[in-house]
Structure 1
């Protein structure tokens, strides 16, 4: 090689090396820029847009890295997109980042939130590194609880303790919701004791979670005692109490607590007021609800869709359908809950034809119906005597929308047929149910038998409903009244005595 050719060759190699380094820097800069954009999108809960930008990133040849994947995996988890999530998992493997703790956590959390808990466990078991990390345990514990596998969640929690893995507030936030059942109250109390031992009960997130657990277990006294003993109460604490009371039928207590809240000079947020309005709806406290509406109108969240839905529900349940309709019509944005509230309101007050009209209008607006709205429209048809229309909707639910009717839908159809005097058809519907009929189904048949004075079938329905709900006085009263109407005073006397035994209990 001549000196001249050597010089050219050396220059060429140097230039190639320089271009390679420059390209690497450009790619790195582009990746960092995309990562910043993706983080901002998720921060503002624009999860769908985050995934769109991620796809643009791939098309631009910018290489995702360990800072990219946790963000996009979270977006898939929130949107419940298992297919997109598994595709991103393959990108993770290709990049060689799978051992990064926050990526492992993101993958386990994704599979747990998408109902693929076995895949989450397999991923955990196949990574020895994960089995020493609190964040990975936390994601899997939370996934088990979310997928109603409480025992597996408890087993993993015990394994954490056995292996000396650090337990933190997030661990308990994942496990405590598994005790939101009266049968697990003692376990919940044990977790409370464990949290206190570690000093984690002072973490407001854990304290609020414990409050929710106690109230959902129906332990009103324990909840209030714990709440009163809390040295610091933030807005989320008050919201947990008010919403907990509202969701568990303690409407009066919720409104009393809200008045305490106001006396403290605290400012509510939409979550607070949704709980209050729900309680107003439950006990018909329209005057209280009107005051809340005034507060909403003077606030920055007067167009909040959840609050407007709660106002529609409150006014509708209180019988003020004109006001409910006014709010519904004024809404800039309506969702399925908005339609369900207004349809249910008309239905419960006997205006079935209006409810049906609104339901058809909702379908024309391309709002896809779900189970609850079908309950509302079926109930409306039942109360208005629109038998054929109701049966058409029941078929539509299954055939067109692929929804599986639950016991609540079957009880509406039994009531629909029963009110129309089609008691044999009502029996056939019950026999065709793919699940065991519950008390509401047999109660609907019993009510229909009372209307049409069918004593034999009423006794048959009563025998079944009373096995399911032996202390429900309403069923005893229904059969007693039927005996009175057919002048069977001997049976009436026996039923009257039996009902008073349970009433005394």
Structure 2
């Protein structure tokens, strides 16, 4: 009779538990007390569950402790209640006190720990459960696989997969989805795709998990195709799947895509927006944020702003996406305005907000505002430090960046690989070798010196500071290399005119199964240009065409330089005209090519065409144009272009520009004008300027100005042999033999030695370099040995 009454009360409690009807549940509890049934174990277990569901944990404990003989279900009920209250210490005590544990007991603890971010403890309990011979359930696998995902422990996740197969749960959809999530988060996309294809009936969770993995891996197009497949299979879409596919539509940002491909992503995003409206998801916060992000990444800030204003609810993420969107689209002022509105709306900015603002300042080059935002952060993370370091680096504030890194170390903020790469880049740009060495030592202390990212930065730093041997030692000591590492070393050899080593490393790189990139080919083309080796340059050009890098603007500019340095100006112009996109470097190379090869008129015509095409010239452009005017005797045109630099283009002339004008005036014999220019130019300590003036004086016999130029050169560079030789020759040409002899005597007393000239020839695909004194020796030994053999036949094999 009592047992029957207890069952009736349990039935009355069931809806109270499901719907959290606390008052009704208490009424049932009161009936149990008045009926003398409060000691019934089954009924008491349900009361523990009721109070736990209603978050009355004290009541739950009272109900548990009133049970005279609690069974394993009683213990599981109070354990679940304790774990739900996040009282882990008490939960562990209860777990240890349990006289008997079943799979539910272990699952409760493993699940609670995994949910609360204590993944390592969850995994430890899982291993303990397996060791005790208990067979995990699908709930066990779901919890522990979630822990492995958070820990990025692919190896243990695979072992767990194996156990799931062994116990026959590998085709349980709950377990399959957990495995899918684990593989995608551990970036094992091959395993994830294989698993997905083996699922007999994937649901929306399966599709969404794989879509998320594809987006995370940058495979946006594949993610869109999967969403289309999901829709065609009749799988109902939800807010999470829609957010994932919107992420795919925005994931193109930063990828190398043509305008048509970008337009297709945008069109797909608009279709998803229509789907959102049809299903009524537009009021869902996460979906709204994804829509804003998608439109912002495509540069449509008007639509992004409209969605933002129409959202019934917004959070900090919404503000951050808007701020980031304006920053990415180059509108730093609007990003700052959004931050101000965010504060006025009583939303507290987080670190993501400030990093977005810092990124906006990077785009606009506003270092001062970026610094102000950085110092508003209470405890900036390494990502924030890196963002400000990037602002300094990209705006050539290298010294400020290095000082910031010192402050970072003083405040014990631990740098990461990105930090070292940025600061090493600053050392490379400023030639700070000693500080670069300190960074190298610091990277060893932080165990980051073997990281490919950092090692490539070290190679670049040492090579740009002139220590190619140190760069090579760093490269040789790398445990693992990627294409960036190889390119850093190849560029280092090219930069230091070690052409043979550059070609040799290119060959080794390909033997290491690394595919060359734009940087690789640009370095090789520069070597060919330096050697004036047309046959080798054409082989490199052929390989560039084969690999599809001929459309790259930097590779193209290097090829133009190579052809012009080899004297093949027609081929250079033909390639220049075929380039789909050109930048200032491309224009400069072609103009300089014309100038250096005596095509002054063509250089001027191309320069004027450049101005009509709205390409803005820089200091290098004017060096090319003025050189062309100088070499071809267009003195008045050169003066006109020189004057236009500051008046029309806002470019302050440098020593090189003055040198070109002085050379043009000197070649034309207009030395009186050259004297006037010398008296008013700001760069009087540049030796090239005075060498040009002295050479002109030798040609035209101006002793007075020539002597002045020589004296300036003796002061600036006393060990340079050129002024001694030129001045002596000028005196000799005027019959002033005593003065000429005095100059040569002075040269001897100062132990100044005239530099030897050298030449190079191309012989059967080899570049042979020899000095003036090598001629007889070469004849005596049947041509001599090559000083620079660059065999390319086996390097650029098709």
TM-score bracket for the superposition, by shorter chain length: 0.7 to 0.9
Q: CA deviation at 1:380?
A: 0.5
Q: Structure 1 residues 360 and 183, CA, compared in 2 at 3 Å: closer, same or farther?
A: closer
| 1:140 maps onto 2:391 in alignment | no
Cα 1:67/1:372, change in 2 over 3 Å? farther
- Aligned twin of 1:34: 292
Residue 148 of structure 1 and its aligned partner are, at CA, apart by 5.1
SS of residue in 1 equivalent to 2:649: coil
1:164 partnered with 2:412:
yes
1:263-342 equivalence runs, <5 A: 263-342=511-590
CA distance in 2, matches of 1:260, 1:70: 46
2:303 paired residue number: 56
Distance 1:478 1:81 in 2: 57
Q: 1:253 aligns with which of 477, 498, 501?
A: 501
Alignment equivalent of 2:621, drawn from 373, 376, 397? 373
Equivalences for 1:455-494 in 2 at 5 Å? 455-487=703-735, 488=737, 489-494=740-745
Residues 148, 471 of structure 1: alpha-carbon distance in 2 compared, 3 angstrom cutoff: farther
Tell me if 1:103 matches 2:342: no
Q: Which deviates further from its counterpart, 319-328 or 100-109?
A: 100-109
Greater RCO, CA 8 A, separation 6+: 1
The answer to which of 121-130 and 55-64 deviates more is 55-64
Secondary structure at 2:283 match in 1: helix
Quick one: distance in 2 between partners of 1:94 and 1:62? 18
Structure 2 counterpart of 1:19:
none
Match of residue 4 from structure 1: none
C-alpha contact (below 8 Å) 2:666/2:693 kept by paired residues: yes
- Cα distance change on mapping 1:198 and 1:36 into 2, 3 Å: same
Counterpart-to-counterpart distance in 1, 2:327 and 2:751: 53
TM-score, scaled to structure 1:
0.83
**How far off is 1:54 after superposition?**
2.0
Which protein has the bigger helix share? 1
Q: Distance in 1 between matches of 2:281 and 2:546?
A: 56
Give the distance between the partners of 1:96 and 1:494, measured in 2 at CA. 83
Cα distance in structure 2, aligned partners of 1:62 and 1:443: 70
Cα distance change of structure 1 residues 155 and 378 upon mapping to structure 2, 3 Å threshold: closer
Which one of 94, 108, 116 corresponds to residue 366 of structure 2? 116
Deviates more, 1:179-188 or 1:320-329: 179-188
1:224 equivalenced with 2:482 (yes/no): no
1:408 lines up with 2:652 in the alignment: no
Instruction: Give the drift of 1:67.
Output: 4.3
Q: Aligned partners of 2:332 and 2:712: how far apart in 1?
A: 43
Task: Compute the displacement of 1:259 (Å).
Answer: 3.2
Aligned residue for 2:609, secondary structure, equals helix
Q: Is the 8 A contact 2:304 2:322 kept in 1?
A: no
Distance, in Å, in 1 between the alignment partners of 2:421 and 2:396 is 15
Q: Which moved more, 1:340-349 or 1:66-75?
A: 66-75
Any conservation in 2 of the 1:483–1:491 contact (CA below 8 Å)?
A: no
RMSD, matched Cα: 3.0
Structure of greater Rg: 2
| Stretch of structure 1 that moved more, 279-288 or 64-73 | 64-73
CA distance in 2, matches of 1:319, 1:379: 16
Identify if the C-alpha distance between structure 1 residues 497 and 66 changes in structure 2 by more than 3 Å, giving closer, same or farther: farther
Q: Give the distance between the partners of 1:322 and 1:330, measured in 2 at CA.
A: 12
Could you list the per-position Cα deviations for residues 357-392 of structure 1 after superposition, in whole angstroms to 9, with x for gaps in the alignment?
A: 222222233322222111101100000010011111
Partner of 1:357: 605
Aligned in 2, Cα 1:402/1:292: closer, same or farther, shift over 3 Å?
same
Task: Please state how far the C-alpha of 1:295 moved relative to its aligned partner.
Answer: 0.5
In 2, the alpha carbon distance for the partners of 1:391 and 1:290 equals 38
Q: Distance in 1 between matches of 2:461 and 2:607?
A: 36
Q: Which runs of 5+ in 1 are unaligned?
A: 1-21, 42-48
CA contact (8 A) 1:98 1:104 kept: no
Verify the 8 A CA contact 2:483 2:516 in the aligned structure 1. yes
What is the DSSP-based 3-state SS (H/G/I as helix, E as strand, rest coil) of the residue aligned with 1:501?
coil
**Could you tell me how far 1:208 is from its partner in structure 2?**
0.5
**Deviation of residue 325 (structure 1)?**
1.6
> Are the counterparts in 2 of residues 243 and 272 from structure 1 also a CA contact under 8 Å?
yes
**Residues 382-391 or 250-259, more deviating:** 250-259
2-side partners of 1:91 and 1:437: how far apart?
Answer: 54
- Deviation for aligned residue 1:154: 4.0
Q: Distance in 2 between matches of 1:427 and 1:285?
A: 40
Shift of 1:298: 1.4
Q: Is the 8 A contact 1:356 1:377 kept in 2?
A: yes
Q: d(CA) in 2 for partners of 1:79 and 1:494?
A: 67
Partners of 1:477 and 1:78 lie apart in 2 by: 58
Alignment length, in residue pairs? 470
2 CA distance for matches of 1:284 and 1:476? 31
SS of residue in 2 equivalent to 1:201: coil
Give CA-to-partner distance per residue, 1:151-193, whole Å, 9 cap, x none: 5444433333333322211221222223226862122111101
Check 1:350–1:275 CA distance in 2 against 1; reply closer, same or farther (3 A cut).
same
Distance in 2 separating the partners of 1:75 and 1:23: 22
Match of 2:696 in 1: 448
Q: Give, in whole Å, the separation in 2 of the partners of 1:62 and 1:288.
A: 62
486-495 vs 272-281, which moves further:
486-495
Residues 316 and 349 in structure 2, CA contact (< 8 A), matched pair in contact too: no
1:25 aligns with 2:283: yes
Worse overlay, 440-449 or 367-376: 440-449
**1:497 and 2:748 matched:** yes
Q: CA offset at residue 322 of structure 1?
A: 1.7
Measure, in 2, the Cα distance between the counterparts of 1:69 and 1:280: 52
Partners of 1:283 and 1:72 lie apart in 2 by: 52
Matched-pair contact (CA < 8 Å) for 2:365–2:395: yes
Q: Return closer, same or farther for 1:452/1:97 CA change in 2, 3 Å cut-off.
A: farther
**Matched residue, 1:16:** none
Picking from 359, 366, 379, the partner of 1:129 is 379
Partners in 2 of 1:75 and 1:426 — Cα distance? 54
Q: 1:366 & 1:200 partners in 2: Cα distance?
A: 46
8 Å contact kept, 1:316–1:324: yes
The 2-side partners of 1:344 and 1:80 are apart by 33
CA distances 1:90-131 after superposition (whole Å, capped 9, x unpaired) = 45545656631122123234435644333322222233233x
